[in-house]
Structures are given as structure tokens and as C-alpha cells.
A and B are shown apart, each in its own frame.
Chain A
Amino acid sequence: MQEPCDIRFSAVRKTFGAQTVIPSLDLEVRSGERLVLLGPSGCGKSTIMRLIAGLEQPVSGTIAMGGQIVNGLDASERNVSMVFQNYALYPHMTVFDNMAFSLKLRKVAKAEITRRIQEAAEKLELGSLLQRKPRELSGGQRQRVALGRAIVQQSSYFLLDEPLSNLDAQLRTNARNDLVELHKSYPRTMVYVTHDQVEAMTIGQRIAVLRQGELQQIGSPEDIYMRPANRFVAAFMGNPPMNIVPVTVGDQQVMFADGGELALPESVLSSLKRCGEQHVLLGIRPEALELWEGDRTVVKPFPPSIAIRGEFIRSEYLGAVVIHHIAVGQHRLLVSSAAPVQFKPHSNVTLTASCEHLHFFEAAGAEQRIPLTVQHLKPKNQPEQVLVMSGR
């Protein structure tokens, strides 16, 4: 693309009557990237998309597209094309007419319209369906028509509002790949709204996680997953969700509410002490934990690790992964592993994890991430081998 097609929100505020949907949003969508707006329903992600499309206007703040401020500009003047959740195909028009509709309005030459539609139809395998009406199409075909209708407009901005949510699981997987491939052939600035984290991770080059109209974190899928900015992002991303346990920071260890203790390497503890909070939240992803039978202490000092003793409750077999439920004091931790285990219920087990995989969040306020420094080299005279006790 020759001209920059970025989108910039500066202090954008949107209310509906007395209800504030977006308090104040700063957001940048880079030219040509695939940005996914992710969040639970009601978090304002669709509103943001509608603000970009011009279907809603902000109460205050500015929205700039390609360097131009577009506040007040009508949807028809913004050079965007949009795919709606229910596809919004015109029921009385054939597939061809649906795709040609906005081109005809924009007075594109007939031959050019036909050329563009045929090209898109070929790419989306719609060739044989062009003369059908929407009601004669399956869900997947309708979804592709909606995509095709957006593509032929050759707009600079491509907005997709949960376009895959009406498809079944199998189709959705294919459609995700198709979308990414499609974006490679039509490298426009693409904003994609979803509440599905798998969609977000697979489609987004960057993900913006939203909650109650506020941006929680924006970054690459790896960033969001590996370094969640706060407890909300940590808990929202990942399935099964991250184990999050409130702990109190002590001198050599952190204490669980039920009296259990977890000894931590000095480097981690000093990071925690630096932030000055006494009560913090400890987060460990289920796949970061390793499950061992019986009581075990960590023998490998590198990388620095922790061990947690618990009681095996049960396993859920999901095929590719197995989820194990482990009781640690009054807490229930989830562990995922590739292979099933043959432990007896209520038998003693030990969970180990590398300290690199520990996340700490403030227990109050915005529950921000507490940055950790984990020393990888063994400091002199200080074994970084740790273990834990927990009230079992």
C-alpha cells in the first residue's frame, strides 16, 4: 500500500445515554496489520469497531485514519468495508448483486465490477454460487459471500465483527486459516473483533485485550500470553485458565492463606519486596506445572524452580491434553500434561515449575503485573533450590 492506513484513537470517549461504554481510549492500529480486539461480551470491542466504521460517533476525543481526523465523517465516506456477525447479506439479491451493490453505488465500470467479483469468487470458491440467493446458501458459504463482498470494495480498512461465531467448530478452523491467507493477498489494515481467544491468537498479529471499555494490554499473541499485563489478561487468556492464588510475601518465602508456604529464590523474592506489596497474587499456567508422584524435592538447581506438594483429585482426559485437578490446601490447582497419569485419588503428588513461569500480580487496585528478575546463574553460596510446603 502506498499511503499509510493506520488508525489512531486519542482519548476517545463513548457513552450511550447515562452508560459509559468507553471511558477514554488510546489505541493505535498499524498500517496493514491484523489487530484483534479481544474481550468478554460487553467490553466495548464492537463499539470500537463501529467507531472506526463511522456507525457511531465519539462523545469526545479524536479518531484519525491514515493521518486524517475522521470524527463526524459518515460511514460511507471512510473507505472501510465491514463483515458483520450475521453477515447482513441482502436477502432479495443474488450473491453477485450482493457483491456488486456498493461498487454500483460508487459508479465502478461494469466490466471492472465483473472482473473483481470473478476474482474474489475464485479465491473464495464462490464461482458456482453467484446466481443464488443468500437463503440458498449454507452458513459457511454465506460467510464467504460476506467476505467476498468486503474484498471487492478494495477499501483500505477491513473490519470484521465476530465473522466466524455462527460457524461450526470444523468450519471455523478452516475459516481462520483462510482469513490469514486472504490477508496476505489483500494486505489491508484489518481490525477483527472476537471474544474467542483461539481466534485472537491465530488471526491477530497483535491483540488488544479490553475490559469494560478500557485497554488492558496490546501486544503480540506471545506477549499477551507469556507476559500478561494484569490479572484480568492472565485469567482471560489460556484454556484451562491460569492458576491464581493469593499469597503473602514473607522473608524467605510466600505464605498461602491456609498456612502453607512456598520458598522462593532470593531473586524472585527481592523483586516482590521491591514493589512494596505484602499481599500479592501468584499465577502459574497449568502447562507450566509438572506433576510428580509422591513427595519430591527439586533436585535440579537450574533454572531455579519451585515445588508444591498437593493431593491428586482427578484427571479430565481431553485427547491431546489431560487436565489434572490437584488440591493444595484449600486451593485447587489445574495442571495440564500431554500424557494421562495413573494416580490414585487422594494420593500425594508434587508439582514443580520453573521460576521463569511464575507470574505475580498486585492483589489490589488494577492488579498489575509485578515484574520479576529471575537469576539464571547460580549465585555463590546460595542454592537456588527450593521447595514448598503447603497445608496438606
Chain B
Amino acid sequence: MKIKVSGWNLLLFICLLLSFFPLVWMISTTFKQADQIFSEFLNPLPRPFTWENISYVLNAVPMVRYFINSLIVAVLVTAFQLVTSILAAYSFTRFDFKGRQFLFYVVVASMLIPIQVTMLPNYLLISKLDWLNTYAGLVAPQLANGMGVFLLRQTFRTIPQSLYESAQVGGAAEWQILWRIAFPVVRPTVLALGVMFFINVWNEYFWPLLVINDKDMLTIPLALQLFINSEGGNSWGPMMAVGTLASLPPLIAFFIVNRQIVSSFISTGVKG
């Protein structure tokens, strides 16, 4: 195969290196000994290879507990956001009700509001409910997602009206039409959204920082700061070990679902 290297290819390659460098550096640092981290800063290969950063991290703080915390929050939020997005988007597509367009604009507008605007009222509400330092406090403000509603509505709209009507004439109730006809067709979008939601919540730093100060309730991104504060900011090995551990679940989730997303895209041959 002949490969033609043009200026653009070179530029793209440099961009690729730049975007991969932090990731590679994080992973290699995880397995390097403390003295090798800066003496061989650019060398991606850890010599000697060591597990000591990982084992230090696992022993110094209740890492497994933080993992479970993060997982519970991420799974709950993702599940809720998907369910509410699907139901809302389906309603916006299928039912003709008064104020539908206005309501939809409100949902879209909600995407434009930054967290800094909602943070105080949300915090006060959660605190009044006595939900600080609880899963409920972490999950409750994120049960719906305007982006999900918007994207799914666009996808539902690509389904020909006659598909819904055919099921309706065939005797299907509305929830059956949604679950057995519409959902299988939009499944690739739902999976992609699910991964996106999961990664967003998993990486969330700001909101947990506000509502959690109980050490047992920390999520993984918050656990990272333990190493910055307590060790004076120079324990790069353990910090990168937390980082590597933290990026595993989203990466795994992405690779598992990635195949499904691709295959479901292929199998969704809505008649043209």
C-alpha cells in the first residue's frame, strides 16, 4: 500500500501525539519508580516495571470504596438520564399537545445554563433535604439531561410515522410501540448517549466536591485530591496510579459498547 504523506497528514500526526501524550505519560508514570519519573520524563517505557504505586494507592486510601461510590453514582445517573430522555424525547415526537414546542425549547435552553448558575440553589435544596454526603445528594440534581432529550428526539424523528402507525393499527399500546418498535431502532443512539452520560458523571469533580466531605463518600475524582493535598503535590506516581485506575471503567465501557454501537448501526436498515 502506498502511503502519501502530505503536510496535513504530518499536522494530524503531531496533533495525535499531543493528544495521546498525557494519557501515555499517565499510564507509564503509574508503573515507574519515583526516581525514574523525572529522570526519564519522555521515555514511555517504565524500567524497572513496578506495581508499587498501585499497591500504595490501594492501601493508603479506601480505593475500592471510592470505586464503588463512583460506580453507584454513575450507573444511577446514567440510568435515570436515559430513561427520562427516552420518555421525554418520545413524547415530544409522538404526541401533539399544547405547548409542546415551548416545552421543548425550555429543555433545549436548559443545556445552555452553566453549573455555576444552578449550583447554589441546588446546594441549598440538597442541604435542606439533609442529603449532603449521601448518594441521593450526588444523584438527585442530575436525573434529567437536556442534551439527551434533544439528541433522542432528533433520532425518533427519523423513524417514519407509518412505523408507529402500523404498530398502532396492529393493536400495540403506546408503551409497546415505544419499547418494541421505536426503542430497537434508536438503540445505537441510546448506547452512545449512555456512554457519554457515564463518562460525564464518572469524571464529575465539581458537584461531588460541593456535597461530599465525608471521606467514605468520596468519588474517584475527589480521591485524586487526597494525594495532592496530603503529599504536598509531588507524589506523582500514586496520583497517576489513581488516574489510571479511574480511567479504566469508562475505557472498558466504551470498548464494550463501541462494538454494539457499530453493529446496531449496521443492523438498523430503516427502509429507504
Contacts and interface: CB of A to CB of B under 8 A. Distances in A.
Given A89-B271, A91-B271, A135-B271, A102 B162 contact: no
B170 A87 contact: no
B267 A133 contact: yes
Contacts of B267: 92, 133
A101 B170 contact: yes
A134 B271 contact: yes
A203 interface: no
A55 B168 CA distance: 8
Contacts of A84: 162, 165-166
Nearest to A137: B271
B189 to A, nearest CB: 14
Given A88-B163, A92-B184, A53 B271 contact: no
Interface string A72-90: 0011101011101111111
Contacts of A91: 185, 268-271
A54 B172 CA distance: 13
Given A88-B163, A91-B270, A133-B269, A82 B169 contact: yes
Contact of A88 (B166, B172, B268): B166
A300 interface: no
Nearest to A166: B271
A75 B269 contact: no
B271 A102 contact: no
B173 interface: yes
B176 interface: yes
B159 to A, nearest CB: 9
A86 B169 contact: no
B170 A105 contact: yes
Contacts of A85: 162
A76 B270 CA distance: 23
B171 interface: yes
For chain A, what secondary structure do more than half of its interface residues adopt (helix, strand, loop), or is it mixed? loop
Interface string B158-187: 001011011111111100100011001100
A78 B162 CA distance: 17
A87 B269 CA distance: 14
A63 to B, nearest CB: 15
B268 A76 contact: no
Contacts of B180: 101
A105 B268 contact: no
Nearest to B269: A135
A101 B172 CA distance: 9
Nearest to B160: A86
A133 B185 CA distance: 13
A110 interface: no
A13 interface: no
A134 B185 CA distance: 13
B166 A76 contact: no
Contact of A105 (B163, B172, B184, B271): B172
Using C-beta atoms within 8 Å of the partner chain, give the interface range for chain B: 20 to 34
A53 B162 contact: no
Contacts of B170: 76, 81, 101-102, 105, 149, 153
A54 B170 CA distance: 12
A82 B172 CA distance: 14
Interface residues of A, number: 29
A142 B269 CA distance: 13
Interface string A168-210: 0000000000000000000000000000000000000000000
Interface in A111-170: 133-135, 142, 149, 153
B164 to A, nearest CB: 9
A75 B161 CA distance: 14
B237 to A, nearest CB: 49
A76 B271 contact: no
Contact of A76 (B160, B162, B168): B168
A380 interface: no
Nearest to B267: A92
A345 B169 CA distance: 58
Interface string B230-272: 0000000000000000000000000000000000000111110
Contact of B160 (A53, A78, A88, A142): A88
Nearest to B164: A88
A55 B165 contact: yes
Contacts of A153: 170
Which of B165, B173, B184, B268 is the most central at the interface, judged by chain A CB atoms within 10 Å of its CB? B165
A86 B172 contact: no
Nearest to A107: B171
Contacts of A74: 168
A102 B173 CA distance: 11
Contacts of B271: 86-87, 89, 91, 134-135, 142
Nearest to B159: A91
Nearest to B161: A88
A206 B184 CA distance: 41
Contacts of A106: 171
B184 A76 contact: no
Contacts of B163: 88, 90
Interface string B88-107: 00000000000000000000
B247 to A, nearest CB: 33
Contacts of A102: 167, 170-172
Nearest to A102: B170
Interface of A: 53-55, 74-76, 78, 80-82, 84-92, 101-102, 105-106, 133-135, 142, 149, 153
10 contacts: A54-B169, A76-B173, A82-B165, A82-B166, A89-B271, A92-B185, A92-B267, A101-B167, A102-B172, A135-B271
Given A74-B168, A82-B169, A105-B172, 15 more contacts: A76-B169, A80-B169, A81-B169, A81-B170, A82-B166, A86-B271, A88-B163, A88-B165, A88-B166, A91-B270, A101-B172, A105-B170, A133-B267, A133-B269, A134-B271
Per CB-CB distance, the 5 closest pairs between chain A and chain B, nearest first, are A135-B269, A102-B170, A88-B166, A88-B162, A92-B184
